[in-house]
Amino acid sequence: MSNYKVTYFDIDGGRGGPLRITLHAAGLAFEDIRWSFPEFGEKRESARFHAVPFLEFDGETVTQSNALCRYIGKMCDLYPDDPKQALYCDEVMEAVEDLTHFMVQTFGLEGEELKTARENFKNGRLTVFLKGLNELLTRGGGEYFANGRLTVADLKVAAIMKNIRAGGLDHIPADFADNLTPALGKHHERVENDPIVKAYHASKGA
């Protein structure tokens, strides 16, 4: 039996959160290695591509959060078998990666520089991507992005929506996403209340 180790930041969302949930859904026990941000700064050069998350199992280390979510998702029916639905799922996950790329460009800034960058992000890329994701949710039937049920795509979107809706991004109002795309707010609540997600959080005592 494989021994799994996930290495990511000591946060519950981001790129690593959906992978942790998917591993739990697959019934795979895993060591949850959480690096602080200073620790990441010290160890990042030891990680392939100088990035997290990465997954260790069977004597190998594998990177790229979407690839990992797909791989584990296939073990627990959280990734579609149908090629077109899989395409829909992939489109959403890649869009979230693009959005995350623009979001992290504002990290580490301070004061007026941060305020200006976040306001530009809010009025520019964030608005574009939230509207686009809303379109993809509508295409999927309005409740889920693909396959008519929970997939790793939903987990990816929920992770970023959780951060926005919790007010985790300074200078971006917590209700911004809900006001712009109410359906995405309802989707986030639907995912958070899914038995798979609730079971994961319960396992962590959350």
Mean pLDDT of the region 9-26: 96
- What's the number of domains the chain is made of? 2
Task: Examine the domain organization and report whether 36 and 101 are in the same domain.
Answer: no
Distance of CA 202 to the CA centre of its chain: 19
183-204 pLDDT, tens digit each: 999 999 999 999 999 999 999 8
Q: How many CA atoms lie within 13 A of 179 on its CB side?
A: 9
The yes-or-no verdict on residue 171 having pLDDT over 80 is yes
Return the CATH number at 48: 3.40.30.10
- Last residue in a domain, options 17, 48, 77: 77
Over 90: is that where the pLDDT of 206 sits? no
Strands 30-35 and 4-9: parallel
Question: Which pLDDT value is given to residue 36?
Answer: 96
Boundary residue ending a domain (33, 53, 77)? 77
The answer to whether 107 and 163 are in contact (CB under 8 A) is no
DSSP string, 92-160: HHHHHHHHHHHHHTTTT--HHHHHHHHHHHIIIIIHHHHHHHHHHHHHTTSS-SBTTB--HHHHHHHHH
Residue 1, pLDDT score: 61
Does a structural domain hold residue 181? yes
Q: How far is CA 2 from the centre of its chain?
A: 24
Residue 125 lies in a domain: yes
Averaged pLDDT score across all residues of the chain = 96
Judgement on whether residues 67 and 160 belong to the same structural domain of the protein? no
Same domain, 73 and 88: no
In a domain, 204, yes or no: no
* Residue 145 belongs to domain with CATH number: 1.20.1050.10
The residue range of the domain holding 26 is 4-77
Identify the domain boundary among 26, 52, 77. 77
Rounded distance between C-alpha atoms, residue 124 and residue 93, angstroms: 20
Handedness of CA 152, 189, 129, 55 (dihedral sign): negative
Nearest to 33 by CA among 47, 103, 77: 47
Write out pLDDT tens, residues 53-84: 999 999 999 999 999 999 999 999 999 999 99
Sign for the pseudo-dihedral over CA of 170, 175, 176, 182: positive
Does position 130 have pLDDT exceeding 90, yes or no? yes
Specify the higher pLDDT residue, 23 or 1: 23
Query: At 5, which helix (H) or strand (E)?
Result: strand 4-9
Q: What are phi and psi of 149, to 5 degrees?
A: -160, 180
Same domain for 99 and 179:
yes
Mean pLDDT of 98-102: 96
Q: Is residue 102 part of a domain?
A: yes
Same domain, 100 and 169: yes
Structure tokens at 58: 């069977």
Place of tokens 């029916």: 77
Residue 122 and residue 158 share a domain: yes
